[in-house]
Structure 1
Amino acid sequence: MLQLLTFLVEKLSLVSNFKLFESSWLDGEDQELPAQRGPPPPPRRGDLLEVPRTIFTHYGIYLGDNKVAHLIPDILPVLTNDEKLISSVITNKRLILGCMYKAATVRVDTLEDFAYGCNILVNRTDKVMKAQAFPNEDVARRAEKLMGAIPYSLLWNNCEHFVTYCRYGSAASRQTEKVWCL
C-alpha cells in the first residue's frame, strides 16, 4: 500500500510540474488581462468560485453571508454521524482517506476556509461552458439541496462536477478531461 501511495504522489508531482491542471480555460490565455482598478466586487449568491490549488483548482458555489457550498473528499461521515465533528475544518488526513474510500460531503464553509489563503476567481467558467448559466438564486438553491454525504470520484464526481451541475445543469470537469488527453 505504501508503494502505491508513493507511486501516486510521484506521478501527481510530475503532473503538477507540467501544470496540466491550471485553470486557464479562457481563449487567449497567454494574453495579459487589463489591470483592474480597486478591489474586485464581492461574490453574489449563486456565483461559481474557483480557488487555485497546487495541482487542481477547487470549486464552490457562493451562498451569501460569507458561506460557500463545496464538495470535498471526507472520510469522517463514513465513521460518525456527529454533525459538530463532521463540520470541523477538514484535515489533509481526512481528505486523503476520503479520496481513498471514495467518500465526500457537500458542505458549507466560510469563504475564508474555502479559499484557504488563495485568491478567489468568480464565474470564469461562464466563458467556456456551452450551456447558459442558470439564474444565481437557482444555482444557490441547487447547491443547498445537495448538502450531505455522497460518493466521490476524482474523475467522475468531484468538486468541479458539483458546481457545473449546479450552475449549468450538467456535471462536467474540464480538469479531468485534460487527464484523458494525455
Structure 2
Amino acid sequence: MLPLKVEVPPNPILRVQHDISRWDIRLIPEGLHIYVHRPGYTHHGIYIGDGKVIHFVGPKAGPTRACKKCGFSRNTGHGVVETCLECFLDGGSLCRYNYNVPRVRLLITFHTMCPNCTTTERLESGREIVATAKEKLKEGFGKYNLLSNNCEHFATFCSTGTAFCQQVKYTAELAAFPVLPRPVGLLMFYRDLI
C-alpha cells in the first residue's frame, strides 16, 4: 500500500501574486502599480485603463521607431510618459507590484526582501493614483536618476505618496552580504506550506 500524500491548501495570507499576464486586460484595475522584467532590472508604471500606462523613463528608453498605436519612441522625449501597454511591456510579461504584504510573508518566501513587494500600505484609491500619475505627466517628476529617482520611485509615489525603490534596496542588500548562507531548510519547510 502506498503512503497517502496529504495536500496542504495554500495559505492566502502567505500567497503573493506577481504575474498577471494571463488576466483579461478589461479586468486590470485603474491605478494598479505594474511592472515588467527587463535584463537586470524591472520597469514600473501605473496602469490608467484603456490599455494605457503612465511611467517614468530615462533618455534612452523606447523604440527607435514611433509606435503605430501610441506614437511613443526614443525621440518623443523622456521623463513621465503615457504609452500603450504594449510599449510599456516591450515583449515582456505583465506583473503587479504588491503592497501591504505581511513582513512574515517576505521573510518566509524570499528569505531577504522581495524587490517587487513592500509592507508599505497603498494609501490611495485607484482613481487617486491615476490622478496623481496624470498630474506628474503634466508637471514632471524631476530628473531621472537610476538610484534616487527612477520608474519605481515614480510608481510608489503615485501609489503611496512616498517615493521609494525596493529594487535599489534589494540590490544593495545583496551586494553588502553576498556570502551569507540562506536559511534553506526553513525556506523549504515554509514553501511546502504555500
- TM-score grouping bracket, smaller chain normalisation: 0.5 to 0.7
**Is residue 52–residue 58 contact of structure 1 (8 Å, CA) maintained in 2?**
yes
Q: How does 1:22-171 map to 2 (within 5 A)?
A: 39-42=22-25, 43-74=28-59, 88-91=71-74, 104-127=78-101, 128-133=117-122, 134-148=124-138, 149=140, 150-171=142-163
**Is residue 45–residue 62 contact of structure 1 (8 Å, CA) maintained in 2?**
yes
CA distance in 2, matches of 1:180, 1:135: 31
Name the larger-Rg structure: 2
Structure 1 counterpart of 2:9 = none
Matched residues, number: 131
Distance apart, 1:125 and its partner CA: 4.1
Q: Deviations over 1:155-178 (max 9, x none)?
A: 000000000000011101011112
Structure 1: unaligned runs, 5 residues or longer: 1-26, 77-86, 99-103
**After the TM superposition, which parts of structure 1 deviate over 6 Å for at least 4 consecutive aligned residues?**
none
CA distance in 2, matches of 1:151, 1:61: 19
TM-score (norm 2): 0.58
Amino acid in structure 2 at the alignment position of 1:161:
H
Partner SS, residue 151 of structure 1: coil
Over the matched positions of the two proteins, sequence identity in percent amounts to 26
CA distance in 1, matches of 2:38, 2:60: 21
Amino acid in structure 2 at the alignment position of 1:147:
L
Amino acid in structure 1 at the alignment position of 2:56:
L
Aligned Cα RMSD in Å? 3.1
Distance apart, 1:116 and its partner CA: 0.7
- The answer as to 2:158 corresponding to 1:173 is no
Higher helix share: 1
**Is residue 74–residue 90 contact of structure 1 (8 Å, CA) maintained in 2?**
no
Q: Deviations over 1:74-103 (max 9, x none)?
A: 269xxxxxxxxxx84334xx6xxx9xxxxx
Amino acid in structure 1 at the alignment position of 2:131:
R
Structure 2: unaligned runs, 5 residues or longer: 1-13, 62-69, 102-116, 176-194
**Is residue 99–residue 121 contact of structure 2 (8 Å, CA) maintained in 1?**
no
Amino acid in structure 1 at the alignment position of 2:47:
Y
TM-score (norm 1): 0.62
**Is residue 35–residue 42 contact of structure 2 (8 Å, CA) maintained in 1?**
yes
Partner SS, residue 54 of structure 2: strand
